[in-house]
Amino acid sequence: MSEELNPFEIAQKQLDAAAAIMQLEPALHELLRWPIRELHVTLPVRMDDGSTEIFHGYRVQYNDSRGPTKGGLRFHPHETIDTVRALAAWMTWKTAVMDIPLGGGKGGIICNPKVMSPGELERLSRAYIRQVGRILGEDMDVPAPDVYTTPQIMAWMMDEYAFMRGHNVPGVITGKPLPLGGSAGRGDATARGGMTCVREAAKLLGLATAGATMAIQGFGNAGQYAAILGAELLGMRIAAVSDSQGGVYNPAGLDPAALIVHKLETGSVVGFPEGDAVTNAELLELDVDVLAPAALENQITAENAARIKAKIVAELANGPTTPDADAVLYDGQHYVIPDFLCNAGGVTVSYFEQVQNAYGYYWKEAQVHELLDEKMTTAFQAVAQTADDYHIDNRMAAYIVAVGRVAEACKLRGWV
């Protein structure tokens, strides 16, 4: 039988496994398997050539028992409602495992931003807010950047929402440019939080990070900062990186700054002169100490999991490992840092941004870094302790920590 790769069914399957261990009562389990609400929208957008193109988008608010929903917004040509549902579910568990007072949400628009002009992207962004803005708000649901969305796109969306409300509302969107109420430290937050988790995992394993090798699949925002911070903070050698077009490998180490310049100039890491060509599939199986999947879902599957050699798998992407692959990796040879813990630095600093917006006082970058390190370390230790207590893998441990907190909030509210 072929492996299930529908992201929402994977998210439900992961929850089901945790619910069985926790012995959740049936009504509560069923409540947590589904989004509380979702909105589907159709967006007519005038293109630069004068034609009108019709786009489709979504906003899913998965669970708001612990606070307003929070989650990114993706622009992607292959976006699906089930992907958005899964990401909203994982965001629910992510905010809970970090113990911040938010729920989980996610949004997406089916489009190819790579072939759209800035004007077209702005009109699409504003059209989305005109439709979805009715369910957004600082105390309702707060979007943020995700795949192929940027601080500039967030600025347009915030401005459109402010126009609808008739006054400035900086806290309705996070990941904004600094002059519009963004937070210092937001740009590298996802990668920084992930590297904090790698540091803590290495301590548990007795692995020295200085000189250790790391391969990064996906060289967007999170992947680029992971390369920089992995080298700067942990002393690691970046042995390989890849993007959607392919990758480059040099076991002696690649220069992250030079790689970023090469990608800016050429559009890809492919052809970087200081390494050999490697495919995305080959990169996953390289003999490195740390593997950081930082691209899209379902990259490590039952088909290739047995060939993963990395001691630590740091999931900077959402859902990069399937449940069948988890079973293979949970063998004592691999230490998996699950996605909704490993990449939670982004939403944590987004929460910091909401706090700063709310009282109009902004923190210095060093303070943001210090608070993020503290939150990530505490969350990592809670998950590691739960894994040890229950004799389970880290993903199930993260679920037990997170689901337990959401379940408690649902019960206290009298929902079940």
Q: For position 147, which CATH number holds?
A: 3.40.50.10860
| 137 & 244 share domain | no
End-to-end CA distance of the chain: 36
Please report whether residue 247 resides in a domain.
yes
Residues 392-400 have a mean pLDDT of 95
Among 79-83, 164-168, 197-201, 325-329, which is the least confidently predicted range?
325-329
Please report whether residue 183 resides in a domain.
no
- Choose the final residue of a domain: 178, 212, 232: 178
Name the residue with tokens 């002696």. 252
Confidence band, pLDDT 50/70/90 cuts, at residue 1 = very low
Q: Percentage of residues in the chain with pLDDT exceeding 70?
A: 99
- Choose the final residue of a domain: 342, 363, 394: 342
Please report whether residue 309 resides in a domain.
yes
| 197 & 135 share domain | no
Domain containing residue 322: CATH number: 3.40.50.720
Closest CA to 245 of 221, 230, 266, 228: 266
Residues 117-129 have a mean pLDDT of 98
235: left (phi over 0), alpha (psi -120 to 50) or beta: left
| 217 & 334 share domain | yes
Please report whether residue 356 resides in a domain.
no
| 144 & 193 share domain | no
Please report whether residue 207 resides in a domain.
yes
Q: Could you tell me the two tokens for 369?
A: 């870094």
CA 171/CA 355 separation, integer angstroms = 8
Query: Is 4's pLDDT higher than 80?
Result: no
| 332 & 208 share domain | yes
Please report whether residue 45 resides in a domain.
no
Residues in the chain: 416
- Choose the final residue of a domain: 342, 368, 394: 342
pLDDT digits (tens, 9 = 90+) for 318-374: 889 998 899 899 887 899 999 999 999 999 999 999 999 999 999 999 999 999 999
Which positions are catalytic? 106
CA 377/CA 360 separation, integer angstroms = 28
| 166 & 128 share domain | yes
Please report whether residue 144 resides in a domain.
yes
Domain residues for 240? 189-342
pLDDT of residue 2: 59
| 89 & 194 share domain | no
| 168 & 303 share domain | no
- List all residues 6 or more positions away from 272 whose beta carbon is below 8 Å from its beta carbon: 248, 254, 258, 259, 262
pLDDT of residue 319: 87
CA 401/CA 143 separation, integer angstroms = 24
Number of domains in the chain: 2
pLDDT digits (tens, 9 = 90+) for 193-223: 999 999 999 999 999 999 999 999 999 889 9
| 297 & 338 share domain | yes
Please report whether residue 335 resides in a domain.
yes
CA 170/CA 166 separation, integer angstroms = 13
| 236 & 147 share domain | no
| 332 & 217 share domain | yes
Q: Could you tell me the two tokens for 303?
A: 């088909």
pLDDT of residue 285: 96
Query: Is 3's pLDDT higher than 80?
Result: no
Q: How many Cα atoms occupy the beta-carbon half-sphere of 37 within 13 Å?
A: 11
CA 104/CA 88 separation, integer angstroms = 5
pLDDT digits (tens, 9 = 90+) for 88-104: 999 999 999 999 999 99
Mean pLDDT, all residues of the chain: 95
| 330 & 305 share domain | yes
